[in-house]
Amino acid sequence: MIRWIRQQLGFDPPHQSDTRTVYIANKFPQHGHYIPQRFADNRIISSKYTIWNFIPKNLFEQFRRIANFYFLIIFLVQVSPDTPTSPITSGLPLFFVITVTAIKQGYEDWLRHKADNEVNGAPVFVVRSGSLVQTRSKNIRVGDIVRVAKDETFPADLVLLSSDRAEGTCHITTASLDGETNLKTHYAVPETAVSQSVSRLESLQAVVECQQPEADLYRYHSQSDHRNPPHTLYHAGVAVYTGMESKMALNYKCKSQKRSAVEKSMNTFLIIYLGILLFEAILSTILKYAWQAENKWDEPFYNQKTDQERNSSQILKFISDFLAFLVLYNFIIPISLYVTVELQKFLGSFFIGWDLDLYHEESDQKAQVNTSDLNEELGQVEYVFTDKTGTLTENEMQFRECSINGIKYQEINGKLVPEGMTEDSPDGSEELFLKAVSLCHTVQISYDQTDGPGDPFSHANGFSPQMEYYASSPDEKALVERYLMTFCLSLGEKVLFTKGAESAVLPYTTSGEIDKTRVHVDEFALKGLRTLVVACRHFSADEYQEVDRRLHEARTALQQREERLVEVFNFIEKDLELLGATGVEDKLQDKVQETIESLRLAGIKVWVLTGDKHETAVSVSLSCGHFHRTMNILELVQQKSDRECAEQLRRLARRYNTLAHPFYTKTVRTFSNQKREWTEQSHGLVVDGASLSLALREHEKLFMEVCKNCSAVLCCRMAPLQKAKVVRLLKTSPEKPITLAIGDGANDVSMIQEAHVGIMGKEGRQAVRNSDYAIARFKFLAKLLLVHGHFYYIRIATLVQYFFYKNVCFITPQFLYQFFCLFSQQTLYDSVYLTLYNICFTSLPILVYSLFEQLVHPHVLQSKPALYRDISKNSLLSFKTFLYWTFLGFCHAFVFFFGSYILMGEDTTLMGNGQVSVSPASLPSSLLFSYSRSCVSVAGLLLC
C-alpha cells in the first residue's frame, strides 16, 4: 500500500531506465550488488471508483453540473437565518437527485468491478519451485513462467519459450487487442523451444532484455541470454509485462465524453433561466427599496425595527434581500430535470434491445446499447460513415477468377477454365502460380479428433473431411481452400513468393505479362472482386545466405529495428517475376441497397470509407446503391503533390458549379418505394488515401466545399487513422453536423470513437466494445435511426421543454405575489409544495409520456423516410421553440395567479382558528395557505 501511494504521488516511479531486465522464473543473480526492478502487479483495473473514494469523487463530479452546484449554493444560503423558505425545500430535492444519480453510477461501477474480479481471479498455471502451481491471474509476477492451453486467454504479455510442437510454434489470435480473430503464427527461439517439461523450464537459466512498456501493439524489441540451454505440453511463456503495463491495458482509452445536442441545449436553457432568476431577484430587491422609500411602508407600526437593523449597512441589507429573493424564486430552475432525463434515457434504451426487428437469428445477436446517453442523437444524424468489408458486405470470400501468365481463367464446376474455353483445365505452365498461392499464405489447418480407429496419416496431404482452415485474411482462406489440395509441393530451389495489392507489387516486377495482368486486375475490380497480385523471385545459394544473414541481424536489433527491416525487405522484394492475379468475391449483405436509399431520402449523406482499391470500391458502391448510374462521379485520385491536388480540387469545384447551373441541370427519373419521383442530378466524389492526405494538409476548406456539394462520397485505400480524421473533419466543420460511424473491425475503432454507432462483425468484438450502439446487420440501421431515433428525440425534447415550462408556471405566481405583499418576501406556497412539486407532483406523467409516446406509427416512419427531416437540426429544441414554451409558461402563470385572485379577491374566508380574513391584497399572510393551495391545484390540474 505504501509503495502504491508513493507511486501515485510520483515519488516512486516504477521505471528507472529505458529497458527492463526480466529473469526467467525470477532467478536473480546471487552475487554482486543487484537491485531488483519494481514492476506492476497483474491486476486489471477498469473501474472508476473504490470504496474509499466513491463519495468524494462522485460528489465532485455531480456538483460540476450547473444545476446541482446552483442548488447547493441555494441550500447553503437557506441555512443562514432570515430566509423566506426552509432549507428543506432545496436540500431534500437536492439530496434525492444526488442519491439517485450516485446509486446509478455506483451500480455501473460495481459491474466494472465485477468484470475486473472475473479477470483477476481467473485460474492460471505457473511454474514455481519445480512444479506446476495453480494460482490466480492477479498473482502473476514479471518473470513467471506461465502455461497456456488451447483456447485459453493470455493472462499477461508473454514471450514464447516453448510449445507442444517440436518446432516450437504456436498459433494465436489477437481479438482482445485489435479485434483480429484470424490466426497468427509465433515461434520460440531454438534455445528454449526444446524445453518441453516443467523440470527443464524450471532449470532454465535465461535473461530477457526488453524495452519498457509501450502502447504500440505491433512493436516489441528484446534480446535473450540463454545461460544454460537445457521438453512442456501446451505453450509456455515468460511474463514480461503485467497488469496495467500490458499492451491491452495501455491501449485501453476511456472514450471521450460524448454530449448530445439535447444536453447542450439543456445547459444553454439553464443559463437563460438563471438569467431570468437573477433579473427577477434584482428587480424585486430594487422595487422593495423603492416601495420602502415611504416611512409608513419602511417601518409600519406592527413591525418596528430594532436599533441594530436601523444602523446596519445598506449594502449588506441589499445583498441579504437579494439573496432572500434568490431563494424565493430559485425553483424556476428544475432541479429534478437531470435525474428525470437520465431515468428516461436508461429505461428507454431497453426498447432497442427488445426490438425483434433488430434481432439477427443466424448469429443469435440482438441490438446492443453500450451507452444510453446518446439515444436522441439517433434522431439527428446527418452523416453516416461506413466501412465496406464486413459491414456492407458479408466478409465471406469466394474465388471467382484469376489471371495466370496473361491468360484469364474462370471457375466452372470446380475447375479453372481459360477464357473462351469450357473443358480444358490449366496445364503445367501455371504450376508455379498455383505453388505460389498454395505456399504464400498464413493459413493453418485444424483437424477434428474422431472417435474409433483410423489411419493416423489420413490427413497428411490435406484430404481429411474434418479439416478446418484458419487464416489471417478471408481472401487467403478462399484461395487456399480452392488450391491447397491440388499439389504435393516439392521445390528444389530457393524461391521467394509474394502476394499483395497491385499498387504494392506491380512497381517491383520486371518480367512476366505485366500489361495484360494489369488489364485483368482492372476488369476484376470493375466486377466488384477483391484482387491480389502474385509474383516470385529466384535466389541462388549465395544470395539466399546473404538475405538470411541480413534478416537475422535486422530482426535481432534492439535499436531502429523497423528501419533496418524495411531496408532488408526493399533489398529482397525487387526484380520480381509477375505470375498472375486473383479475383475473389465478397457478397453484399441483405437489403443494403434499400437501406442506403432510405437514409438518402431521410436527408442523411452516406460516406463509404474502405481500404480497397479504387475500381473495386466504385464497383461495390454502384452495386449497393451508394452511387447510382445517373450520378455524376467526381474523382480526386492519384494526386502526387499539393499543387496538383489543389488544382484538381478547383477543377472539381468549377465543374460542380457549372453542372449546378440551371441551364445545365438535368432531371432524371428515379424510383423509390415503387413511387416515381423527379430529382435533380446528384454528384458523387471518389477520393483515395494519398490524395486525401494532400487535400487535408493545406486545402481542407476547398476539399470540404467539394464534399458538401456531393450527395455521396467514397474514400478508398484508407488507413485506419485516416478514417477517424475524416469523421473529425466533418464534426468540427462550422455546421457541426451529427455524425455516425459503422465498422466491424478493430481498424474501425478510431472512427467509431469519433462518432456514435458500432456494428457487430466477424473480425472480433473490439469495435462493439468501443461503440455506443451495436447492430448485427447494416439493414437494421434504417429502423434504428428512422424509428427509434425519431421517437427518442421527440420524447426527450418534449420532456426538456415541459420541465422548463412547468417551473415557469409554478414560480412566476410567487414573483407576482410579491407585488401584493409589498415585497416582504412572503412565500406563496407551503414548504411541502416547494419540496415535492418537481419530485412527485409533476414528474411521473411526463416521464411516462417520454417513454411510450408514439406520434406516428413505426411502419409509417419506415415507409416515409422523409419524415426524419422534420426533426433534423435539433428543431424541437431550437431557440425559437424554447421561447415559445417559455412565453406559454408565463402566460399560463398569469392565468393561474390572476384567475385565483379574481375568484377569491372579494370573498371573506373563515379560517380554522375562527378568524376572518380578507383579500390577499389587504392582508397577504392571512390567505397565504388557502390561496397557495388554490394556485397549486389549478397549476397541477392544467399541467398534468
Q: Give domain limits for the chain.
A: 19-25+123-250, 57-108+257-354+788-941, 382-392+589-657+681-755, 393-587
Say how many C-beta atoms besides its own lie within 10 A of residue 134's C-beta: 9
Q: Are 93 and 838 in contact (CB under 8 A)?
A: yes
Residue 168 among known ligand-binding residues: no
Backbone φ/ψ region at 537: left (φ over 0), alpha (ψ -120 to 50), beta: beta
**How far is the C-alpha of 756 from the C-alpha of 907, rounded, in Å?**
61
Q: Are 247 and 241 in contact (CB under 8 A)?
A: yes
Q: Are 409 and 419 in contact (CB under 8 A)?
A: yes
Q: How many residues does the chain have?
A: 944
Could you write out the DSSP letters of every residue in 660-696?
Answer: HSTTT--EEEEEETTEEEEEEPPEEEEEEHHHHHHHH
**How far is the C-alpha of 633 from the C-alpha of 438, rounded, in Å?**
39
Q: What is the 3-state secondary structure (H, E, C) of 787-841?
A: HHHHHHHHHHHHHHHHHHHHHHHHHHHHHHHHHHCCCCCCCCCCHHHHHHHHHHH
Residue 387 among known ligand-binding residues: yes
Residue 725 among known ligand-binding residues: no
Q: Which residues partner with 535 through β-bridges? A: 498, 578
**How far is the C-alpha of 127 from the C-alpha of 144, rounded, in Å?**
7
Residue 516 among known ligand-binding residues: no
Take residue 72 and report the three cell numbers written for it: 447547493
Take residue 931 and report the three cell numbers written for it: 390561496
CATH superfamily of 393-587: Calcium-transporting ATPase, cytoplasmic domain N (3.40.1110.10)
**How far is the C-alpha of 895 from the C-alpha of 290, rounded, in Å?**
27
φ, ψ at 99 (rounded to 5°): -65, -45
CATH of domain 382-392+589-657+681-755: 3.40.50.1000
**Amino acid code (one letter) for 101:** T
Residue 389 among known ligand-binding residues: yes
Residue 530 among known ligand-binding residues: yes
Q: 316-326 b/e with 16+ CB inside 10 Å = b?
A: eeeebbbbbbb
Q: What's the pLDDT score for residue 574? A: 84
Residue 65 among known ligand-binding residues: no
Take residue 802 and report the three cell numbers written for it: 415541459
Stretches in the chain below the pLDDT threshold 50: 7-11, 14-15, 228-231, 233, 425-426, 449-465, 484-490, 660-680, 764, 910, 912-914, 918-931, 933, 938, 941-942, 944
Name the nearest CA neighbour of 877 among 452, 407, 265, 299. 265
Q: What is the 3-state secondary structure (H, E, C) of 327-340?
A: HHHHHHCCCCHHHH
Name the nearest CA neighbour of 249 among 181, 156, 159. 156
Q: Which residues partner with 670 through β-bridges? A: 677
Q: How many CA atoms lie within 13 A of 281 on its CB side?
A: 21
Catalytic residue among 144, 321, 373, 387: 387
φ, ψ at 211 (rounded to 5°): -75, 160
By CB atoms closer than 10 A (0-12, 13-18, 19+), residue 423 is exposed
**Distances, alpha carbon 575 to alpha carbons 426, 428, 502, 570, 671, in Å:** 26, 24, 15, 11, 53
Which class does domain 19-25+123-250 fall in?
mainly beta
Take residue 828 and report the three cell numbers written for it: 406563496
Residue 610 among known ligand-binding residues: yes
Residue 227 among known ligand-binding residues: no
CA angle 697, 701, 704 (to 5 degrees): 100
Name the nearest CA neighbour of 783 among 205, 381, 355. 355
φ, ψ at 423 (rounded to 5°): -125, -50
Q: What's the pLDDT score for residue 216? A: 65
Q: Are 115 and 20 in contact (CB under 8 A)?
A: no
In the predicted model, what is the mean pLDDT of the chain? 77
Take residue 788 and report the three cell numbers written for it: 427509434
Longest dimension (CA), the chain: 121
Residue 717 among known ligand-binding residues: yes
* Digit-coded pLDDT (tens) for 760-798: 655 545 556 567 788 888 899 999 999 999 999 999 999
Instruction: Give pTM, 2 decimals.
Output: 0.71
Q: What's the pLDDT score for residue 495? A: 84
Q: Are 376 and 792 in contact (CB under 8 A)?
A: yes
**Distances, alpha carbon 454 to alpha carbons 364, 458, 465, in Å:** 36, 8, 13
**Distances, alpha carbon 674 to alpha carbons 374, 385, 399, 597, 857, in Å:** 34, 27, 35, 12, 20
Take residue 695 and report the three cell numbers written for it: 487535400
Strand 675-680 to 576-588 pairing:
unpaired
**Distances, alpha carbon 248 to alpha carbons 37, 178, 212, in Å:** 22, 9, 15
* Digit-coded pLDDT (tens) for 223-252: 666 554 444 545 678 888 888 888 777 755
Is residue 387 annotated as a catalytic residue, yes or no? yes
CA-atom Rg of the chain in angstroms:
36
Q: Is the dihedral of CA 652, 657, 658, 662 positive or negative?
A: positive
Q: What is the DSSP letter of 641?
A: S
Contacts of 865 (CB under 8 A, 6+ apart): 598, 599, 601, 602, 782, 786
For residue 430, the Cα-to-chain-centroid distance in whole angstroms is 47
Residue 476 among known ligand-binding residues: yes
* Digit-coded pLDDT (tens) for 206-230: 888 888 887 766 667 666 665 544 4
For residue 648, the Cα-to-chain-centroid distance in whole angstroms is 34
φ, ψ at 747 (rounded to 5°): -70, -10
Residue 388 among known ligand-binding residues: yes
**How far is the C-alpha of 617 from the C-alpha of 622, rounded, in Å?**
9
Q: What's the pLDDT score for residue 486? A: 35
**How far is the C-alpha of 399 from the C-alpha of 384, rounded, in Å?**
31
Name the nearest CA neighbour of 524 among 479, 482, 581, 473. 581
Three-state DSSP class for residue 704? helix
559-563's contacts with Cβ under 8 Å and 24+ in sequence apart are 559/221, 561/221, 562/219
Q: Are 202 and 162 in contact (CB under 8 A)?
A: no
**How far is the C-alpha of 943 from the C-alpha of 842, rounded, in Å?**
7
